[in-house]
A and B are shown apart, each in its own frame.
Chain A
Amino acid sequence: MTPRMLRPVAALALALVLAACGSEQQTVNPLNALKAIPQVLSGQRPAPPQVSAEQVAAALRGTNGPLLLVQQEQSGAQVLFTQIERNGPYATYGNAARQAVVLRKGLITSSRGLGGDLMSTQSDWLLARVSARQPARRVPYILRFLTPEDETRVITVLCDLTLGQSIEVKGGTLNTRGTAVNASCAGSGVSFSDTYVVGANGTILSSRQWLGPTLGHVATQALRL
């Protein structure tokens, strides 16, 4: 196709995209997929969202419930979550962007809406030791993910737990100390290290934990328990 022809074709394509409409929201324009391409081609990412001290203060004022700050290491994005539901030992934290993480004693056991989510975990053994701040060897920990094919991928690792120093935990309404527990985990072709700062009652107050091959590591910080 000659460049001379390209322009009218591009104009036609644009006209067609603009012309697409329907009565249902579900009427998907086949050209929608094109919208993502320029950004992909340029390789530019929007600046990662940051949470300011004012936003934290406003969130603390706006609700009485538990608050959590999560930072994704890869993108640098910071997200503020509030607790929206509790089911037994599991607390679901969500935000207005319909992202969610589920915590059990401060350990993220699943995520939703982050892209490449951690679907569920079997963390009974790991959490028992971490919560008790006990060093241990070969503690099993199971993480489940969806593949792009929509099948479930199970990653089973064994973790060695060691105790670190006592660390100050300061943020939001928290001003206390916790014990660092380092987990060095490997299995199913992956290996990663997590760190949990565990408070006096056995709850993880802040952490750096691995959420899978797509999301990588996130840092968590409880702002109010």
Chain B
Amino acid sequence: MSEKSARRLRKRVRLGSLALAMFAVGQVAPAQQQERLPDYNLYGVPGLIDMPTSDAAPDATLSSTFGAFGKQLRTTLTFQITPRLSGSFRYSALDDFSGAGAVGGRYYDRSFDLRYQLLTETDTRPSLTIGFQDVIGTGLYSSEYIVATKEIARGLRLTGGIGWGRLGSYGSFGDTGTRPNVTLGRGGIPTYDRWFRGPVAGFGGLSYAVNDRLSLKAEYSSDAYDIEAGRSGMTRDSQWNYGLDYRFRNGTQLSLYHMYGNEIGAQLTLFTNPTTSGIPGGREGAPLPVAPRAPGAAADLGWTTDTARVQQAGASLSQLAANEGIVVEGLDLQANRAVVRMRNERYGAPAQAVGRLARAMTRALPASVEQFEIIPVVRGMPMSSIILRRSDLERLEHDDSLEMLARTQMIDAFGRVPPAAPGQYPRFTWSFLPYVQVSVFDPDNPVRADAGLRARAEYRITPNFVLSGSVTKKLNGNLGDSTRVSASNLPRVRTDHARYAAEGDPAIEYLQLAHFGRPAKDLYSRVTVGYLEPMFAGASAELLWKRVNSRFALGAEINYVVRRDFDQLFGTQSMTTIEPVTNSVNGVPGTRETIPSVNGHISAYYDFGNGFHGQMDVGRYLAGDYGATLRLDREFANGWRIGAYATFTDVSSEEFGEGSFDKGIRITIPIGALTGQPSRNRNDLVIQSLTRDGGARLNVNDRLYEQVREYHRPDAAKSWGRFWR
């Protein structure tokens, strides 16, 4: 993906949270690090210095690399998607760069790589990896390679490979056809026409690990740096590069290089891994132990007619649960069974909330109560009925948690939940927190940020009716300073975001009334009206169908929208957008487009059960375009998620503008996994390639699926090991 056009847009991401995550998690990594991390190169993938090796990182490794040499600066995020497959996203800056696309002598480029390890290393054979570098868009770094690496003596690793594109540009020994260099569409499309075409050359090198910390490297590069030579005057005196890697105890890699005979390079790579970083099991306090009943005590039913004892049992349970961060909203206590309406405010793992509440029930409820039915309620919606036998809890307290899972029944809670006890509602909550909003990829200023304060309030009128709002006040920052105006061929549903950022101070992010409900068995509903998001007000209705024990769900959402004023206060404005005057090829100045009032989607969700989760949304987007969004995420039991999405609509690449279609990367970081304390907070980081008007969805709050699936069996079972935690 190039930055050749001057109509660069920016996207706000919460990069700060990722850097924090990597930093914080990196600190606790060593105790858990099982497999050795490979050395990474300047491209932020396993490699020597500028050349790749065939090594693969341990499964689920997430790394961020900051590498620089000469006039190049590369920032790369790499994720080991499966044990053999990895993907990398890179943002690079090239200084003193002349020609199209450079802004103030600096050229920015984004690139995306995929690597697949075909063979793993054994005693007798090297590992073998096929790599596609910069596979989307204009392909500044475009190259493909096949590389092999083998340890030939203790600590000494030999790498050899052949490459095309960049890696076939110096010392080629043959060619496989002609490599085209035209950009497909408006960029952002896989460069399949180039793969394994053109001159092919060999590269290779050696690395020697002096000890666990230090390694020395030498490589022969097959990259001629033709583009840099032509456009930034780079000269090479040698194809040999030399380097020194130092690895800190937490895995962080620091490298120094001498490159191409006359340049100095340096690199820092930070690592984290959702499967191994963090404190196993967390640091929170011990649960209450199960209070076993005395033999024969279960036969005593005298308490059922004693109102005082009944009330006392309820009060005692509420108190014990409150100590665990769990709210008992309602209780239906019968002679042999108890149904508890539970609100979980603390635990990211539903099983832990259920396990702690169940133990509190063994301590508070009369001995004759044998069946415990726990119903987690979210915004008034009973999510599932989790049915446990008290005698199982007594018997299996010190056993494998899977034994308890096998004896736990989960059914739909429709029509089973007791009402909230008097005094629970209405309920008012508020918070006052700092925020940082970061925008990247604007070539005028690749990282812009605003810092300020955000006030949020929520008034639960009844369990199901929620009035909520959020206001921000900027204290400092330069997000609104952008002078770039994005051109568009479509109704300007998102490309005016710079104006919204500049004029919205203070801004009402949202102010809405929502109703959540259970219209029938397996069905969940949401209706929201008000100022739904920074750019649109209106009404949104959603219906979700999901069975408690199923990994599949279907949803439908329909929205009626009105465009909000740029100042993000109470006003709305015309749905007709006028294309501003720009010097771009996109959009004709003065063109009027109308945003349709109605949009909506049908969504299908599927948990593949192997750590991957897929979602497909089909429907009409904000600008009136029709199409589908595909999402694939790798999900971890502790709440980490790393995934990607792409949206294809009936808007052509030409109409869409740069990038051709909308796509991005999403990372969810659970705060609990970072701090070792239970938390329901998570941080979402979305890196969208560009903010364009095609394939844009309404950002309505509190969509149903994530709320619902959490308390359904497939999700709850993933972290069931926490039941007895």
Closest to B398 in A: A90
- Rounded to whole Å, the gap between the CB of A37 and the closest CB of chain B is 7
Q: Is B278 in the interface zone, CB < 8 Å from A?
A: yes
Give the residues from 556 to 612 in chain B that come closer than 8 angstroms, CB to CB, to chain A. none
**Which residue of A27, A37, A148 is within 8 Å of B638 (Cβ)?**
A148
Interface membership of A151, Cβ < 8 A: yes
Residue of A nearest to B32 (CB): A148
Contact flag A150-B681 (CB < 8 Å), given A85-B291, A119-B724? no
Partner of B431, one of A22, A110, A150, A213: A22
Asked if residues B286 and A100 are in contact (CB atoms below 8 Å), the reply is yes
**Which of B208-216, B332-340, B544-552, B667-675 sits within the interface?**
B667-675
User: Quick one: which of B281, B289, B453 contacts A85, CB cutoff 8 A?
Assistant: B289
B673-684 vs A, CB cutoff 8 Å, 1 = contact: the mask equals 111100111010
Q: Contact flags (1/0) for A16-50 with B, using CB distance below 8 Å?
A: 11011111101111111110110010000000000
Residues of B at the A interface (CB closer than 8 Å) are: 17, 20, 23-24, 27-28, 31-32, 274-287, 289-292, 325, 345-346, 349, 394, 397-402, 428-434, 451, 453, 475-476, 636-638, 640, 671, 673-676, 679-681, 683, 718-719, 721-722, 724-725
Contact between A87 and B430 (Cβ–Cβ < 8 Å)? no
Q: List the B residue with the shortest CB-CB distance to A34.
A: B20
Minimum C-beta distance from A96 to chain B (A): 10
Q: Count A interface residues, CB 8 Å.
A: 58
Contact across chains for B275 and A149 when beta carbons are under 8 A apart = yes
Contact of A99 among B285, B400, B451 (CB under 8 A): B285
Chain A residues with CB under 8 A of B345: 24, 26
Tell me if A150 and B721 are in contact (CB < 8 A).
Answer: yes
User: Given the complex, which residues of A lie within 8 Å of B402, measured CB to CB?
Assistant: 152
Q: In the complex, A150 Cα to B180 Cα: how many Å?
A: 48
Closest residue to A147 on the B side, CB-wise? Answer: B280
- For A83-118 the 0/1 string (1 means CB < 8 A from B) is 011111010101001111010100001101101110
- Inter-chain CA distance A28–B401, complex, in Å, is 29
Q: Which of B274, B291, B434, B721 contacts A119 (CB 8 A)?
A: B721
Q: Which of B23, B286, B398 has the most CB of A within 10 A?
A: B286
Q: Do the beta carbons of A32 and B675 come within 8 Å of each other? A: yes
Q: Which of A17, A26, A110 is B434 in contact with, Cβ under 8 Å?
A: A17
Instruction: Check if A20 sits within 8 Å of B434, measured CB to CB.
Output: yes
In the bound complex, do residue B401 and residue A120 qualify as a contact, i.e. CB atoms below 8 Å apart? Answer: yes
Closest 10 CB pairs of A and B: A98-B285, A16-B434, A22-B431, A112-B286, A100-B286, A85-B289, A146-B281, A148-B278, A152-B721, A113-B286
A150 touches B349 (CB 8 A): yes
Pick from A110, A120, A153 the residue with the most CB of B within 10 Å.
A120
In chain A, what residue has the closest Cβ to B399? A120
Q: Are B433 and A115 in contact (CB under 8 A)?
A: no
How many Å lie between the Cα of A145 and that of B287 in the bound state? 16
Instruction: Out of B399, B401, B673, name the residue touching A148 (CB < 8 Å).
Output: B673
Q: Which B residues lie within 8 Å of A200 (CB)?
A: none
B283 touches A109 (CB 8 A): no
Residue of B nearest to A37 (CB): B24
A100 with B279, Cβ < 8 A, contacts A23-B430, A90-B398 known: no
Please give, as numbers and ranges, the residues of chain A lying within 8 Å of B284 by CB-CB distance.
Answer: 113
Chain B nearest CB, measured from A117 CB (Å): 5
B459 to chain A, nearest CB (A): 11
A115-B283, A150-B637 known, 16 other contacts, Cβ within 8 Å: A12-B451, A16-B451, A19-B433, A21-B432, A22-B431, A33-B20, A36-B24, A40-B27, A84-B289, A112-B287, A113-B285, A113-B286, A116-B281, A120-B399, A146-B280, A146-B725
A144 at the interface (CB under 8 A from B): yes
Check if B286 sits within 8 Å of A145, measured CB to CB.
no
Cβ–Cβ < 8 Å partners of B451 in chain A: 12, 16
A147 cross-chain contacts in B, Cβ below 8 A: 275-276, 280
Q: Is B721's CB under 8 angstroms from A115's CB?
A: no
- Kindly list chain B residues whose C-beta atoms are within 8 Å of the C-beta of A100: 286, 289
Are A150 and B432 in contact, CB atoms less than 8 angstroms apart? no
Complex CA gap A147/B60 in Å reads 14
Does A214 sit at the interface, judged by CB under 8 A?
A: yes
Do A23 and B431 form a contact, CB below 8 Å, given A37-B23, A112-B725, A146-B722?
A: yes
B434 near A151 with CB under 8 A, answer no
| Residues of chain A with a CB closer than 8 A to B399's CB | 120
- Assess whether A98 is in contact with B286, with CB atoms less than 8 Å apart: yes
Q: A16-B451, A20-B433, A33-B24 are in contact. Are A119 and B31 (CB under 8 A)?
A: no
- B470 CB to closest chain A CB (Å) equals 13
A85 nearest CB neighbor, chain B only: B289
Tell me the nearest residue of chain B to A154, going by C-beta.
B400
CA distance A24 to B283 in the complex (A): 21
With A37-B23, A100-B289, A112-B725: A26-B280 Cβ-Cβ less than 8 Å: no
Kindly provide the distance from the CB of A149 to the nearest chain B CB, expressed in whole angstroms: 4
Asked if residues B274 and A149 are in contact (CB atoms below 8 Å), the reply is yes
Q: Establish whether residues B289 and A19, one from each chain, have CB atoms under 8 Å apart when the complex forms.
A: no
Chain A residues contacting B430 (CB-CB under 8 Å) are 22-23
Q: Is the CB of A30 within 8 A of B725?
A: no
In the assembled complex, the Cα of A102 lies from the Cα of B286 at a distance in Å of 11
Give A23 to B346 CA distance when docked, in angstroms.
15
* Interfacial chain B residues near A21, Cβ < 8 Å: 431-432
- List, in ascending order, chain B residues with CB within 8 A of A30's CB: 17, 433-434, 671, 681, 683
Listed A/B pairs (6) with beta-carbon separation below 8 Å: A27-B431, A27-B433, A40-B24, A40-B28, A112-B287, A147-B275
For the complex formed, measure the closest distance between the CB of A23 and the CB atoms of chain B, giving whole angstroms. Answer: 5
The smallest C-beta distance from B613 to any residue of chain A, in angstroms, reads: 15
Interchain CA distance A29-B434 in the complex, whole Å = 8
Interfacial chain B residues near A32, Cβ < 8 Å: 675
Most buried by B among A17, A84, A94, A113: A113
Known: A31-B434, A109-B398. A148 touches B286 (CB 8 A): no
Known: A12-B475, A22-B429, A87-B292. A148 touches B275 (CB 8 A): yes
A98's closest neighbor in chain B, by CB? B285
**In the complex, are the beta carbons of B638 and A150 less than 8 A apart?**
yes
B720 closest partner in A (C-beta): A152
Task: Tell me the nearest residue of chain B to A27, going by C-beta.
Answer: B431
Q: Which of B277, B289, B325, B451 has the most CB of A within 10 A?
A: B289
- Is B398's CB under 8 angstroms from A102's CB? yes
- Please measure, in the bound complex, the distance between the C-alpha atom of A148 and the C-alpha atom of B287, giving whole angstroms: 19
- From residue A181, how far is it (CB to closest CB) to chain B in Å? 22
Q: Provide the bound-state CA to CA distance between A90 and B432, in Å.
A: 46
Determine the chain A residues whose CB is within 8 A of the CB of B289 once the complex forms: 84-85, 87, 92, 94, 100
Which of chain B's residues have a CB closer than 8 A to the CB of A85? Answer: 289-291
In the assembled complex, the CB of B281 is this many whole angstroms from the nearest CB of chain A, namely 4
Bound-complex Cα distance A143 to B278 (A)? 20
User: When each residue 112-142 of chain A gets 1 if its CB lies under 8 Å from chain B and 0 otherwise, what string results?
Assistant: 1101110110100000000000000000000
Return the chain B residue nearest A90 by Cβ. Answer: B398
Asked, given contacts A115-B279, A115-B676, A119-B721, whether A151 binds B637 with beta carbons under 8 Å apart, the answer is: yes
Query: How far does the alpha carbon of A30 sit from the alpha carbon of B39 in the complex, in Å?
Result: 32
How far apart sit A16 and B452, CA to CA, in the bound complex (Å)?
8
Q: Give CA–CA (A116, B433) in the complex, Å.
A: 32
Give which listed residue, B28, B281, B283, contacts A145 with CB less than 8 A.
Answer: B281
When the two chains form their complex, are residues A116 and B279 in contact, meaning their CB atoms are under 8 A apart?
yes
Contact pick for A28, options B287, B349, B681, CB 8 Å: B681
Shortest C-beta distance, A156 to chain B (Å), equals 12
User: Which residues of the partner chain A approach B291 to less than 8 Å between Cβ atoms?
Assistant: 85
- Judge whether A148 and B433 touch: CB under 8 Å: no
Contacts of B679 in A (CB 8 A): 28
Chain A residues whose C-beta falls within 8 Å of the C-beta of B671 in the assembled complex: 28, 30, 33
Docked complex Cα distance between A104 and B722 (Å):
22
Q: Say whether, besides A146-B281, A150-B718, A120 and B275 are in contact (CB < 8 Å).
A: no
Chain A residues with CB under 8 Å of B725's CB are 112, 117, 119, 146
Closest CB of chain B to A214's CB: distance in Å?
A: 6
- Report the nearest A residue to B21, measured CB to CB: A33
Closest to A99 in B: B286
Assembly CA distance A88 to B432 (angstroms) = 49
How far apart sit A182 and B598, CA to CA, in the bound complex (Å)?
75
